[in-house]
Chains A and B, each alone.
Chain A
Amino acid sequence: MVLNNFKIAFRNLRKHKLFAAINIIGLALGMAVYVLAGLIARYESNHDAFFENSDRIYTLGINAAPGLNVGIDKMNVVNSAVGPILEAEHGEELDAVARTLRYEYLVSRGADGFYERVTFADPALLEIFDFDYLAGDAEALNSSSGLVLDRSTAIRFFGTVDAVGQVLTFDNQYDFSVLAVIEDVPLDSHFNSSLIMDGELRIIAPIGALASLRGFEAEGEWSNLSMDNMTYVMLPPSLDAQWLQAQMDGLYERLMPEQQREIIASYYVDPLQQANLAIWDAIGMPAITIIQLLGLMVLIVACVNYTNLATAQSLGRTREVGMRKTMGADQRQLLVQFLVESLVIAAIAMFVAVACIELAIPVFNNLTNKAMSLNYLDTLPWLVATTVLVGLAAGLYPAWLITRTSPIEALRDLARKGRKGAAMRSTMIGLQFGISAFMLALVAIVYVQNEKVKEGSFIFPRDEVYNLSRLGVDEIAPRLDTLKNELEALPGVAGVAYSSQIPFEQSNAQRDYATKPGDESTEFRVNTLRMSPAFLSVYDIPLLAGRNLDRDIAGDVLVPEETEVLNVVVNELTLERMGITTPQAGVGQRLYRLGEEGTLRELVIVGVVPTQNILGLFNQEKPWIFSYFASQMSTASLRISSGNMLQTISDVEAVWKRVIPEYPIQGSFLNETFDEVYDVLKYMNSALAGFAAVALALAMIGLFGLAAFMAAQRTKEIGVRKVLGASSFQIAGLLVWQFSKPVLWALAVALPAAFFATKIYLNFFADRIESPILLLAAAGATAVVLAWATIAGHAWRIARANPVMALRYE
């Protein structure tokens, strides 16, 4: 009996090759997308599991208070002062605490140097993470000049992993010796997370070395908080996250400086496995859930597709069912028969899907620098369960529909059956197109928003600014004037400006200023940017009132430990925060700096520029203060006149080589800085578009099949209408309208849903698209037009057929 069921199933597939192919391809496509989404989710949420103690390792993080104002809710970094305090207070109870900080240095072996992001870590890092040592051991960081390299870095510098004892020099000044070489950290570690920029463990140096490198004291700081300030805690098996959380809460209460409480609301403890996803937690976007949901949606569309096509097809088999029933089959037996068929199809589809995924994974890994794989041992139960569920869910309705009729009815009355499931089929068509339109609307809105972000970025001359970075080195600083003069002498260079930050660089240097001296209640937070006066002209920033800064005017230039009153340029938003309405009224107004450190007490506004989104991208517009402070310049911005840019760039490189021969030039166009973050937005939308395209394609396949079926069902009616004089056009319209109704109903639900869903995305942006209503309408219209295009051919062919054919065999 079971064998017989399988035999029938395969024979039916062979007999209806086209239908079978459509069914299998559609289902396979849906399954492939679903499984891939599941694999991604699984991969991303199972990072770092290979570390022996991964279940005992935790990262510390901060929950943002309103004062942080950089658009994140939480981040798994803490002030570098926290680690040592925890160690001092609870060193006996917990197993280990280690901090990491990352800074970029020119790392050279002799004359060959690379700019490298070096991870400075407490020695305990090597206790917490059991790296795979190729040379040396976990004691390497105990010496303040010891280094740990990973395999690739060792090979890059020395051509061998046998590098212990070799010397590397940082910024041409500080010598370190390699004491250990570890195997490259696997890609599925949060250190290599594609979501966290530049976290790779290539070179590990002891945190103690930072004392001489940049005056960083080992006890850490309360004031600084950067994305690199990770602190890891390893607990003994007897203690858990709650215990650690309690210690952190206590620590916050007792020790957190008042100032910091405005930006840090509390501490949290996360298991290590969460670290890879921390960036999504930070911006409050549940990316993994979204991917899983999208995958599930596509799978549902595929199932509905199958159900519809199978229903249509099975009605052609009512005669078979009638015969079987006449000969004594009961409904249960027939149900089993039809379900076996749909299970067979689901299984074939899953094989196809798995084959597609096996082909896709290497490409995907390559594109995204991941090491995903389809591990059959782990995923088999899930794949089988998915197959069975899909087979049953998709096959149950057609099986039930076709097997429930009495044998006489089944043998005699073919047409009647089609109508009974009409509401169900319409609902399913609606569901498919609703999901597709929903995704389409998301894609459209995200796309247009991204375009808007891009468009907004053109307030700065993106194509014409060439930036030279890594200037913040003591050795380079004295040569900046020479560099500037020589660069400005080049024919293709229209201007050279130095600054601490350039547009689109994601860095927030913020400070509180008060509008009344000594009155803390008038304080507000301002982003600060150090610049040379040419910055405004290089970046086309107009002056609305007052004047630009000038190096020859004494009060304009900050002299550390000396200046008490400094002239600055501010943007309009700063004036707004001060309660000043016009740029003109702002000139001459003052801002006050409270607190102990430094000599600077007062700022005088001498110039006002418009509010521009300097951080760009998804950031909110912020109040900015531009001041002139000759040191602390990290970047030179060169305004390159269009024309022979290549020549100009090579001239610039020649100048650099002459002036600063011992450091390699690090040049890039402003475009590239922008694209670095913008590409993330773009890729996100490409992924979304991929999901939407698959869903839409499936919905169209389904509709195509269903239109064929429905047209067949209505043959008689169409014949009658034609005999009575309906034109082909009217008939086609009738059929098209029949399918438009459920699609339109679905849109009425899907588009508002999409509207709310995109709000999550739009909320990230300061400069939002005005109203997504038009886009929603466009997405809806696209879905409807595609639905029409799918059925129009059918409808037209059937509408043109000779009515006699329709009525002949009644």
Chain B
Amino acid sequence: MMSILLKVENVQTHIGQYHILQGVSFEAKEGQVSVLLGRNGAGKTTTLKTIMGLTPATSGTIHFQDKEITKQATHHIASSGIGYVPEDQGIFGALTVEENLKVAMRKEDDAALARQEYVLELFPDLKKYWKKDGGHLSGGQKQMLSMARAFINDSKLLLIDEPSKGLAPVVIEKVMEAIVEMKKQTTIILVEQNFIMASRIGDTYTLIDDGETVRSGQMSELVQNEELKRQYLGIG
């Protein structure tokens, strides 16, 4: 039985005057890829930002490794073992690939350097463009750098927001392979619009609509549920 790593319960988030999340609940189990699905503007990205404390929850609770992190500062949440890959990748454009990874590395010990070697094997392009400014990388390379940066601190959980967005199919395939590889070492919560990709790598799904969780379950069930896909994802 896999243990629950992250538990989000009835989370509500306001951004300014807007009530974005109106009751999001789901669990992420250790070693799995949990996919958040829903239409544009449903609240998937805000859910990840709320977990990270970037748009703090106004009510509800978030537990990570059985500790409540709902009101914690973002840097505490990240330090507790959650890596974040934002939708825009968040690359420091004027820093080189090496520097982007160095900023992220909280401890420069042997374990961290081993993980750096691992991500460079996973993404050989990063090694190739080691001294190149992050701002000059292609969209796919930026995505790889952002994922490598989130992974480098022995993160127990990775939050990855729309990794396929704006990428060519061949690059999407590479990113997918990398996520499958990373899954062997960590737990992943993935926001993804590309249902084909999501269904191939996801173990579980959570459907979010108008800021609320409408359904959660095994990905294999959703793949076969044409009605649910049509109603909430506009496909099928």
Specify whether A and B are partners. Answer: no
